[in-house]
């Protein structure tokens, strides 16, 4: 190697946390801070990449982390790898049954086949075996801890192309506060939202009337602010007042809220389970509630019938779904789960179908007439007037819903789901 040659090293990390604690973003933040002490700086913001929301072993949001450094020497490469691996070993929640950390080191440019691998890690489900073979094929260095499932996401995180992107500023708690109630000035969050929305979003759940930036798990994250640019999320972060010490913060480049998981659905028949789509169809059965507060209804295109659901956690969204009626034309966004039910994230109502009640005619005297018997027309029970015709009268039912976009509330939004406010 020529001494002037720079080495581009991509680092991917995934699956280090569990429901009991930790967060791979925090681990990445610690690593980046330690690298800075060695005068090694990331080329860009680290990346927080959300993958297939149907991945079975995810802890919460199926996020994988990565960053890139440009290095001068092999000894620097060794130093970076050592710092990464030491921290993964030190901080991973190895006792978690589904915690199987994976680390990937890759040198050089990202290739088309890597980009393809990454997008398919959002669209479909991979095995550890497949990911390992792929890593070996591209010449990456693979480090598996326990089953090492994290390598699936780690490769995707370094490889994915971001045609659309958002940023998240994550503020972290000090060790002694982790697990205790978060102490934030709630008013400052409302103020921050007022000043920065819609360039930041999902700060407040307006329907639930509570702040949504704080997680409700014992992880090291104090809060996360999501927005369209690194500048706005940092500005918003500076507006939030915390009554507890902030250990540090880190801004991530992400594919959150870009609809990257949504594939253009050609037909219902061709849709695969564990994948997410946008699909135009017609309501063929009015929505109904089932036990547990879930709302179900059926849709169809020319190829097949599909069951759709707005589940209980989507809260007030279910009230909108309940207003849909047979023959309404809609474009659905969401994913097909293992039970072949389409889990709706948002929809566009493109045609509100006219709905009628079929009623007996009203007599001259103002009284509603009754049937005089089969094929015998109607008879007024008050004055005895009769009609020859059997035809009922169509009474238009006022529809309480308009054409347009509807989405689940903030608290029920998937990480990848693009809020309507971001839809240009």
Q: Which residues bind ligand ATP (CB under 6 A)?
A: 14-15, 17, 23-24, 51-52, 55, 57-63, 100, 121, 125-126, 149-150, 152-153
CB of 159 to ligand ATP, least distance (A): 12
| CB closer to ligand ATP, 97 vs 396 | 97
Give the CA count within 13 Å in the CB-facing half-sphere of 414: 24
Is residue 94 a contact partner of residue 146, using CB atoms and an 8 Å limit?
Answer: yes
Residue 21 zone, left/alpha/beta (φ > 0; ψ -120 to 50; rest): left
Give the whole-angstrom CA distance, residue 422 versus residue 251. Answer: 20
| CB closer to ligand ATP, 130 vs 190 | 130
Is residue 131 a contact partner of residue 51, using CB atoms and an 8 Å limit?
Answer: no
| CB closer to ligand ATP, 218 vs 404 | 218
At how many degrees (to 10) do helices 230-239 and 186-196 cross?
150
CB of 209 to ligand ATP, least distance (A): 26
> What strand order describes the sheet that includes 246-254?
141-144, 102-107, 7-14, 63-71, 47-50, 246-254, 166-173, 221-227, 200-201
CB of 275 to ligand ATP, least distance (A): 10
CB of 393 to ligand ATP, least distance (A): 56
CB of 91 to ligand ATP, least distance (A): 13
| CB closer to ligand ATP, 236 vs 276 | 276
| CB closer to ligand ATP, 49 vs 363 | 49
| CB closer to ligand ATP, 20 vs 301 | 20
CB of 60 to ligand ATP, least distance (A): 4
- Of 417, 410, 291, 401, nearest to 343 by C-alpha is 417
């Amino acid at each position: 190697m020529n001494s002037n040659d720079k080495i581009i090293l991509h680092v991917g990390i995934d699956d280090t946390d569990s429901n009991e604690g930790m967060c791979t973003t925090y681990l990445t933040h610690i690593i980046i801070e330690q690298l800075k002490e060695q005068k090694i700086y990331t080329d860009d913001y680290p990346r927080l990449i959300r993958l297939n929301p149907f991945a079975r072993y995810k802890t919460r949001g199926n996020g994988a982390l990565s960053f890139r450094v440009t290095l001068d020497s092999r000894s620097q490469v060794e130093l970076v790898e050592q710092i990464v691996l030491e921290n993964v070993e030190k901080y991973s929640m190895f006792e978690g049954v589904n915690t199987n950390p994976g680390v990937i080191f890759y040198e050089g440019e990202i290739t088309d086949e890597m980009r393809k691998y990454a997008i398919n890690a959002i669209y479909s489900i991979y095995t550890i075996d497949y990911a390992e073979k792929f890593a070996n094929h591209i010449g990456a260095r693979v480090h598996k801890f326990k089953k090492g499932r994290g390598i699936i996401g780690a490769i995707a995180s370094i490889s994915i192309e971001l045609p659309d992107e958002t940023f998240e500023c994550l503020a972290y708690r000090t060790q002694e506060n982790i697990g205790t109630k978060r102490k934030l000035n709630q008013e400052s969050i409302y103020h921050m939202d007022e000043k920065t929305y819609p360039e930041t979003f999902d700060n407040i759940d307006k329907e639930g009337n509570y702040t949504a930036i704080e997680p409700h798990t014992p992880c090291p994250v104090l809060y996360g602010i999501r927005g369209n640019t690194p500048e706005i999320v940092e500005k918003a972060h500076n507006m939030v007042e915390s009554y507890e010490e902030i250990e540090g913060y880190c801004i991530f480049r992400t594919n959150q809220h870009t609809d990257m998981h949504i594939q253009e659905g050609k037909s219902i028949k061709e849709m695969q389970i564990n994948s997410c789509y946008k699909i135009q169809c017609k309501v063929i059965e009015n929505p109904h509630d089932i036990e547990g507060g879930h709302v179900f209804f059926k849709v169809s295109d020319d190829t097949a019938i599909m069951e759709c659901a707005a589940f209980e956690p989507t809260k007030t969204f279910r009230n909108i779904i309940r207003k849909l009626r047979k023959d309404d034309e809609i474009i659905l966004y969401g994913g097909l789960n293992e039970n072949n039910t389409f889990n709706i994230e948002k929809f566009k109502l493109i045609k509100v179908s006219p709905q009628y009640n079929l009623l007996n005619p009203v007599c001259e005297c103002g009284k509603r007439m009754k049937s005089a018997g089969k094929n015998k027309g109607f008879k007024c029970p008050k004055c005895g007037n009769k009609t020859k015709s059997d035809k009922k009268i169509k009474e238009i039912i006022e529809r309480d819903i308009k054409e347009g976009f509807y989405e689940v509330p903030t608290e029920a939004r998937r990480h990848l789901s693009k809020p309507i406010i971001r839809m240009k």
